[in-house]
Amino acid sequence: AVDQRRVRGRLREVWRYAKFVDLFAEAEFTSFYLKKYTEREERDNINIYKAGEYSMKSEEGRDLSVPSHVDTTITLLTTYSNGGLQALHKNEWYDVPSVMGSMMMMSGHLIKDLSDGALPALRHRVVDIKTDRYSTPFFFNPSYHANISKTRTGKETQVGKQFKTFGPWQVTQLHRDEPLLLTSTSLN
């Protein structure tokens, strides 16, 4: 079980730093939408996810609708009453309870880096429930020109070795994860 007081304390600790919050002042890449995962055959996944980068089978041999991954920034998610979402904790997959009217927050690898590890990144996946599944993700991203090269304490970030600002880095991430959505030169 997650220690809610510890999570709230970590959030307060991170959000206390104005420079960190300022990264999200304009948030041009923030998105919110209803996502439908249609029932599909295993062979259909090859056309959606690049072969070799993601596995559409769990370690236990179950079909996945969404492969194991870590988001980049902050994701707020509601799954309605649809099951299937799993989170990795201490090298073990756990079913995330699907409660109508609830919302969960997941932080990604960039947030972990920017917060000096105060907000850990959550690896998650979606097991195919063999019927249509709906969720509503809200991806809360830094502003296009937000400096992502330094953590809140001034250390160089992993992405800061190659990118100073969020926008150009996000374009490369979207191109990698959603190749039909953007090309690597979309914002040039």
Backbone angles phi, psi at 13, to 5 degrees: -60, -45
Residue 180: its pLDDT value, please? 46
Interior CA angle at 49 toward 44 and 55, to 5°?
95
Helix extents (H) in 50-133: 109-114
pTM to 2 decimals?
Answer: 0.75
Q: Are 23 and 134 in contact (CB under 8 A)?
A: no
- Supply angle C-alpha 181, 71, 40, rounded to 5: 60
The Cα angle at residue 170 between residues 140 and 155, in degrees rounded to 5: 85
Per-residue pLDDT of the chain (188 residues; tens, 9 = 90+): 567 777 777 666 665 555 666 777 776 666 766 666 666 666 665 555 554 566 778 888 888 888 888 998 999 898 888 899 999 999 999 999 988 888 899 999 999 999 999 889 999 999 988 888 888 888 888 888 999 999 988 999 999 999 999 989 988 877 666 554 544 554 55
